Structure 1
Amino acid sequence: MRLGGALFLIALGAILKWAVTVHNTHGFNVNTAGVILMIVGAIGLVAELIYMSTRRRTDVVHQGVGGTRTTTYEVPPEPRY
C-alpha cells in the first residue's frame, strides 16, 4: 500500500464513520466498517512512512565541460544507531 492508498482508506473510513447515517442495517454496521478502514489505513500509513525513512538514497552528479560527461554516484554513509 502506498501513501495515497493509505490516505484514501483513512478518508473513506472517516466518511463511513461520521458522514453516513444508515437506518435498519440488517447486521452490517457501516460505522464499524469505517473504523476498520481507518485502522487499516493508519497501519498502511505508518508502514509506508517507516519504509520511506529507511530507504537508501543516492545522489547522481553529472560533470563535464565541452561535450565530456562523467557520472558520479555518491552514496551516503551508513547510519549509526
Structure 2
Amino acid sequence: MDPHETHCIRCGQPVDKGLRGCTPQSRSVDHIIAIELGGARLSRDNVALAHYGCNSRHGAMVRWAKHNRRGHTVSRMIVDVDPHSL
C-alpha cells in the first residue's frame, strides 16, 4: 500500500488515518483482487487503503458471489413487521 494514499479505494472518500480500531470509517488494508478469487495475499501491488466498513462490505459481497458460483441457492425471507408492535 502506498503510504501517500489518502482516499478509500472502494468509495473514493478520504480516510482518516488517525482513527483506530474497527469503526466503519477507520483505515484498513484492502486486497484489490480478493484472496478468495486468487489475489496475492502479500503483494504490495494487490493492496490499497480502504475504510474498514467499505472493506468489510466488499469482502462480504465477494464471499457471497463465490458461494453462489458453486451452484448453491440463496433464499431470502421478507418479513412484514408492524413497527408499532416493537
Asked if TM exceeds 0.5, the reply is: no
Answer 1 or 2: which has greater helix percent: 1
Q: Which of structures 1 and 2 has the bigger CA Rg?
A: 1
TM-score (structure 2 length as normaliser): 0.31
TM-score (structure 1 length as normaliser): 0.32
